[in-house]
Amino acid sequence: EADIYQTPRYLVIGTGKKITLECSQTMGHDKMYWYQQDPGMELHLIHYSYGVNSTEKGDLSSESTVSRIRTEHFPLTLESARPSHTSQYLCASSEDYDRGYGYTFGSGTRLTVV
Amino acid sequence: KNEVEQSPQNLTAQEGEFITINCSYSVGISALHWLQQHPGGGIVSLFMLSSGKKKHGRLIATINIQEKHSSLHITASHPRDSAVYICAALYNTDKLIFGTGTRLQVFP
C-alpha cells in the first residue's frame, strides 16, 4: 500500500501548457524530493524540501518550480511545457537521519509533451 | 562521471538461478540503498544499509565500507523478480546519487 501518491500517472500535453504534478505523502516526513528520469537513465534530483516553506534546487537544472505549503504536499509545476520536458518524474520522501533515513518513492508521473 | 557504478547493466537468468548485482561508489557515504523499479516506473526501496549484511526473503544485500562496494543477491530467482535494480549512495545524510541500474530478466 503506497504511502506516497503521485498524480497523474500518465500525462500527454501540448507545448506551452501549464501543468502541475501532484505529490502527497501520509507519513509525516519532513524531507521530500523530486527526481527526473529519462528512459534508461539514472534518476537526477531536481528539487528538494526540508519542510514547510523550504525548497531548494537539486543537482540537475530544471525549469520546473515547486512549493511546500503543507508538510504532506509537494507539487511540481511547469509554467510552459516543452517537448524537452518529456520524462518521468518521481517524488520521494524520507525520514530524518537519526531515524534511519529510509526513502519511500511514488509511482511516478510519465509526462509527454507534444 | 557517475560516482555510483553498477554491473552488469543487463542480466538474464533462468528461473532458480542465484543472481548477484554489484555496486561500487567513489565517495564517502552515509548509507547505501538498493531499489527495485518495475516496468511501470514505480520504485520500491529494498534495503538501506551502512554496514554488514541484510536479508529479506530471497534477497540479501551486503556492503564493504573499506572497499566501497555493495552487492545484491537474489536466491532461487523467479520471473517476478524481473525488474531494474538500482543502487543509490546516500551522502550528506539526505542526498542520493543513483547508479544507472541493472536490468534483470528471469525466464521460466
The residue of chain B with its CA nearest to that of A103 is B45
The residue of chain B with its CA nearest to that of A87 is B41
Q: Cell digits for A104?
A: 519511500
Q: How does DSSP assign B41-73, residue by residue?
A: --EEEEEEESSEEEEETTEEEEEETTTTEEEEE
Place of cell 524540501: A49
CB atoms within 10 A of CB B80: 9
Q: Of A37, A45, A100, which has the smallest distance from its Cβ to B48's Cβ?
A: A100
CB contact at 8 A, B67 and B12: no
pLDDT per position as a tens digit, A58-110 = 888 889 999 999 999 999 999 999 999 999 999 999 876 555 557 888 989 99
If you average pLDDT over every residue of chain A, what do you get? Answer: 90
Q: Cell digits for B88?
A: 543509490
Separation of alpha carbons A94 and B2, rounded Å = 23
Q: What is the mean pLDDT of residues B39-56?
A: 87
CB contact under 8 A, B45 and A105: yes
Instruction: State which amino acid sits at residue B8.
Output: P
**pLDDT of A23 higher than 90:** yes
CB contact at 8 A, A35 and A89: yes
Q: Tell me how long chain A is.
A: 114
CB contact under 8 A, B98 and A88: no
pLDDT per position as a tens digit, B56-106 = 999 999 999 889 999 999 999 999 999 999 999 887 766 788 888 999 999
User: CB of B42 within 8 Å of any CB in chain A?
Assistant: yes
CB contact under 8 A, B96 and A110: no
Q: Give the model's pLDDT for residue A101.
A: 57
pLDDT per position as a tens digit, A35-65 = 999 887 888 899 999 999 999 998 888 899 9
- Chain B residues lying within 8 Å of A92, measured CB to CB: 43
